[in-house]
Structure 1
Amino acid sequence: MVAEKFIRVSPAIELFVAYTGEAAGSCPLLVIHGGPDWDHTYLRDPLMELADRHNLIFPDLRGCGRSTRGLPDDSYTPAAATDDLVALLDALGVRQADVLGFSYGGLLAQRLALAAPGRVRRLVIASSVVLPVPPDAYDGWAERDRRRAAEATIWSDPRLSGPDLTRAAALAGAEADVWRPEALGAYRERLSRVRFSAEWARPWQAGVLPPARPDRAAERLAPLGLPILLLHGRQDMTFPAMLAEQGAELIPSARAVVLDEAGHMAHVDQPGRWLAAVAAFLA
């Protein structure tokens, strides 16, 4: 069963949090969504299947979903979002958690591990990177160019703005995010339930949003000895799968699992195999 509540993490910020609490004695799993102007709901399936083994914590980041919105643009930064997550663990009385960060959330998860390493037991970096993406990483992949064209058109459409723009871009990008055509219908239906915002899009479009990936992330994560799973889809069109494998080579305590026939939303393309990889790693 999922409970929902608002948790104040600073004088100006309340985070909306969905959580389970039926797995006594287990290490909680903090799930950090991506976007960032999405909410957590697109990650509930298949992760809810772990609720009998782990207490799951699904926050909406500041400016996202049902969490506090309407902040000044300079309040939407990776550092501020990371501070919120540490404060959330404090408010929940969670001394240590497993952490799964997806896409942009994977970048925030790395920041969390670096800022408060004692608070993270195991780290899953899903559909994200610890290394910079080379500018030529996708050169020559015509299928990616074709699939990503629709979303690029949406972002440049002057008639769209705010959450309508974010939602339209997500829907237009569905074919690029999900590799298997047979999974597209259910994925689009999943997107229909996401509470999109555009709080983070404003500083991003203005070119003032700070980079989310920590500087020298792999180099700084390696000495922590933190068990890390780099979980990726082979056909990911946002972050190249090769970077997961390269990241695992640079971090002795990390290992990469790359799923074939899976795009950026690998948990949608291959839910069973994706969940099995997460469950085995957290066991």
Structure 2
Amino acid sequence: MSSSFIESTVAVSGEPAVELFVARSAHPAGRAMLVIHGGPDWDHSYLRKPLDRLAGRHQLIMPDLRGCGRSTRGLADDQYTPAAATEDLVALLNALGLRQVDVLGFSYGGLIAQRLALAAPERVRRLIIASSGILPVPPDAYDGWPDRAERLAAEAAVWADPSLSGPALTRAAAVASARADVRRPQALADHLDRLSRVRFTAEWLRPLRAGILPAARPEDSARRLAAAGHPLLLLHGRQDLTFPAHLVERAAKLIPSARAVIIEEAGHMAHVDQPQEWLDAVARFLA
């Protein structure tokens, strides 16, 4: 898995001491793209493909967030916050000597990417929010969706299982949600193979369950991103059961610099369902 990437750890905080595990594409390129994974108790590895095909044009910077994958774990629960994760990424760019980067944030990472673009707008050249959301998701967002409850039932059962805890719970939930996250049956095996390689943690789960994890979505994000003016791609699967596609299309209308690309026959893991179409949208936007 690491053959086309250089892997290292980079210190991003002294108090508390935090090092991020970072995979960087091995071949130099003119521009760099920071890729922010979701979860958050996952790692970056499930996003390596198909993005690795961009390595000749972009230097890919793929960190594991604090508490995730091979980055620093064991911090106090109040040290796992979206604000701290955003500060880590700014410190990472500084440590790597990167003045400005393109940014792709996936799912929960898309919320962190919005925070990064708003906190340090001069560091972001172009912004991709993939399988994520800018507008809040209302309780009735999926009313009338015929098979959503059935597809989510297996994951709900895992979260309710008192015999599971820690990383075993996080992994089991991810596997159980596979049929909800991937739309095309023929893509399911690929997704499950990726999940088998993810180094799951449960560091962020602790503050979530304790009720102390702050919301990741920036307040009034659509208005603030419109004011910031970054070129913005909202890249989404039509059958995403986590963030509704119709809210993505609505957000694009609120942000003059944004455009939405909605991929048909693709779920939350749109890059697994339709890898070529997904990658082509990214490449066109970054050109």
For residues 61 and 281 of structure 2, the distance between their equivalents in structure 1, rounded to whole angstroms, comes to 19
1:56-205 map, 5 Å: 56-205=60-209
Does residue 232 of the first structure (1) align with residue 236 of the second (2)? Answer: yes
Corresponding letter in the other structure for 1:209: L
Residue of structure 2 equivalent to 1:220 = 224
Tell me the number of residue pairs that the alignment of Structure 1 and Structure 2 aligns: 282
| CA–CA separation in structure 2 for the residues paired with 1:271 and 1:20 | 19
Match in the other structure for 2:7? 4
Secondary structure of the equivalent of 2:84?
Answer: helix
- The one-character-per-residue Cα deviations of 1:155-177 (angstroms, maximum 9, x if unpaired) are 11110000000000000000000
Partner Cα distance (1:20, 1:268) in 2: 20
Matched position secondary structure for 1:85: helix
**Structure 2 residue identity aligned to 1:241:** A
User: Which position in structure 2 is the counterpart of 1:37?
Assistant: 41
SS at match of 1:131: coil
Q: One-letter code of the match for 2:20?
A: L
Partner Cα distance (1:141, 1:273) in 2: 25
C-alpha separation between the residues in 2 aligned to 1:190 and 1:132?
Answer: 29
Deviation readout 1:82-110 (Å, 9 max, x if unpaired) = 00000000000000000000000000000
The one-letter code of the counterpart of 2:115 is: R
| CA displacement at 1:270 relative to structure 2 | 0.3
* Secondary structure, counterpart of 1:55 in structure 2: strand
Q: How much has 1:140 moved relative to structure 2? A: 2.2
Q: CA deviation at 1:21?
A: 4.5
Alpha-carbon distance between aligned partners in 2 of 1:50 and 1:75, rounded to the nearest angstrom: 33
Question: What aligned pairs does 1:20-35 form with structure 2 within 5 A after superposition?
Answer: 20-24=25-29, 26-35=30-39
1:225 and 1:115 mapped to 2: Cα distance?
13
User: Secondary structure of the equivalent of 1:276?
Assistant: helix
TM-score w.r.t. structure 1 length?
A: 0.99
Runs (4 or more) in structure 1 with deviation over 4 Å come to none
What is the one-letter code of the residue matched to 2:9?
A: F
Secondary structure of the corresponding residue to residue 192 of structure 1: helix
User: Which of residues 16, 25, 39 in structure 1 aligns to 2:21?
Assistant: 16
SS at match of 1:220: helix
Give the whole-Å Cα distance in 2 for the aligned partners of 1:205 and 1:175.
25
After TM superposition, the score normalised by the length of structure 2 is 0.97
Counterpart residue type for residue 27 of structure 1: R
Aligned position for 1:268: 272
Once structures 1 and 2 are overlaid, which stretch shifts more, 202-211 or 230-239? 202-211
Q: CA deviation at 1:134?
A: 1.1
Deviation of the 1:141 alpha carbon: 1.5
RMSD: 0.7
Structure 1 unaligned runs (5+)? none
Gapped regions of structure 2 (runs ≥ 5):
none
Residues 136-145 or 170-179, more deviating: 136-145
- Sequence identity, in percent? 71
Q: SS state of the match for residue 265, structure 2? A: coil
